[in-house]
Amino acid sequence: MSSTAPLLLVSDHVDGSLYVLTVPDGTVTHRLTGRHLSEHAGFLALPGGRAACVDDRRGELLVLDPFGDELVELTVPVAVPAEHLACDPSGRRLAVTTGLGKNTEPWSDLLTVVDLATEEASRVRTRAGEPGVTMPGGGDPLVVLRHREPGALAVHRFADLLAAPPGCPPAAPGSLLPLPDDGHGDAYAPGSGHVFAATGEGVHRARRAGDALTAEAVIPWESPARGWYLRLDTRRQSLWSTLRGGAPDPLRWPEWTNQAWWHDLGTGRTRLADLGPGLVFRLALARRHAAFTRIHPDGDELVLLDADGPDSAVRRLPLAAMDGAPRRGGTPWEGVQRRAVAASPGSDWVAVTRGGHGEVHIVDAETGREAARPRLDTPLHHGGHMMLRTPDDGAEGDPVGR
């Protein structure tokens, strides 16, 4: 295997398995069992093709080296259930927030910070909820928590959190920046130093000013819909989201509208592209394409857009139907199968799971050809979760877990 050949990390977080597959043929090179990764916190890209994730059952942060002889490079205990995961631009210092897990009300206020170089870790109490997290650099790193109800960006110094005494003491933020109550979606651009948070109003942005943040103009959605997810395109320095519109009733999910939203951070230009009705959420960024999966009772598809500025779909590829897929009259969230999508900014390959079947579609985004469909020995419940890496793809330029 070439040292630069892409590798795909695939997690069945319910079954407790993690696989590494070669791309495009789908050969399994590593497998971990008994590891239940937090699907919500996702995978965080680290330098050198490595990745970080959280085992929600064991309460451990895992640093993985899929290109090495040993997959697990380091483990560090952290508080769970993991909600969001981020690192500073160097990839050395990490933060893990806690969320609801299998509970219906916010209950955990624990935040864990980790220094991978020294393997030091500290836990503090912040505020119960489902906080997002970013870690601006430009000096000693900050830890910025995005809270809801009431909405705010709470700013902490990483060094202060790491130096906290034992016993999970309360940690008051050094400063607060007001935010609408409906924040959901976070990004950080190391190049410009901006922190971004998605709300109903648009994308709020702030820049580091010492140990605080200074608010700047809100980026509008330019649509009656809104985004619930933000992702930084490291190759083109742009932001991506999926705008969902229509009746909020989850039983009417087949009628939801979906648009790809793209904002160039250099020019300030925004573009929208229609994706079609149904369930579309997370996206993945390949070398020249943005990849979305659309689930709908009339048929699922992989939608590929030109990542240099979408106006319409480059191609739409049908996906094999899933047993247990969301159906009309039910919700798209509970007790159903879904799909995960993965790509690398250093590759033209895109991977899509077929939840419940243990299959992964591996597609060449340049041609639209499906090169392989490996089947794993676990079902990939709920679609599982994936990350695609090459050692030098620069994906670590997006220092937020996905």
Cα-based angle 324, 343, 254 (whole degrees, multiple of 5): 35
Q: Cα(142)–Cα(124) distance, rounded to whole angstroms?
A: 15
The whole-number average pLDDT for the span 336-345 is 98
Structure confidence at residue 94 (pLDDT): 98
Return phi, psi of residue 95, to 5°: -135, 140
- 309 band by pLDDT with thresholds 50, 70 and 90: confident
Q: Cα(265)–Cα(292) distance, rounded to whole angstroms?
A: 21
Say if 44 falls within a structural domain.
yes
Say if 339 falls within a structural domain.
yes
Say if 313 falls within a structural domain.
yes
CATH number of the domain encompassing residue 142: 2.130.10.10
Q: Over 50: is that where the pLDDT of 2 sits?
A: no
DSSP symbols for 46-97: EGGGEEEEEETTTTEEEEE-TTSSSSEEEEEE--SSEEEEEE-TTSSEEEEE
Say if 284 falls within a structural domain.
yes
Write the single-letter amino acid at 47.
P
The whole-number average pLDDT for the span 331-349 is 96
Say if 1 falls within a structural domain.
no
> What is the tens place of the pLDDT at every residue in 203-233?
999 999 999 999 999 999 999 999 999 999 9
> What is the tens place of the pLDDT at every residue in 293-304?
999 999 999 999
Contact status, residue 341 vs residue 359, Cβ threshold 8 Å? no
Say if 350 falls within a structural domain.
yes
Contact status, residue 42 vs residue 53, Cβ threshold 8 Å? yes
Say if 2 falls within a structural domain.
no
The whole-number average pLDDT for the span 239-268 is 97
Q: Which token pair is 211?
A: 């140990």
The total number of structural domains in the chain stands at: 1
Helix, strand or coil for residue 249? coil
> What is the tens place of the pLDDT at every residue in 371-384?
999 999 999 999 99
Give the domain extent around 237.
7-397
Higher pLDDT, 138 or 277: 277
> What is the tens place of the pLDDT at every residue in 233-248?
999 999 999 999 999 9
- 3 band by pLDDT with thresholds 50, 70 and 90: low
Q: Cα(288)–Cα(364) distance, rounded to whole angstroms?
A: 11
> What is the tens place of the pLDDT at every residue in 27-64?
999 999 999 999 999 999 999 999 999 999 999 999 99
The whole-number average pLDDT for the span 104-124 is 97
Return phi, psi of residue 89, to 5°: -60, -25
The whole-number average pLDDT for the span 121-135 is 97
pTM for the predicted model, two decimal places: 0.97
The whole-number average pLDDT for the span 150-173 is 98
In this structure, the strands spanning 238-245 and 110-115 are: unpaired
Structure confidence at residue 53 (pLDDT): 98
Q: Over 80: is that where the pLDDT of 1 sits?
A: no
Say if 402 falls within a structural domain.
no
Mean pLDDT score across all residues of the chain:
97
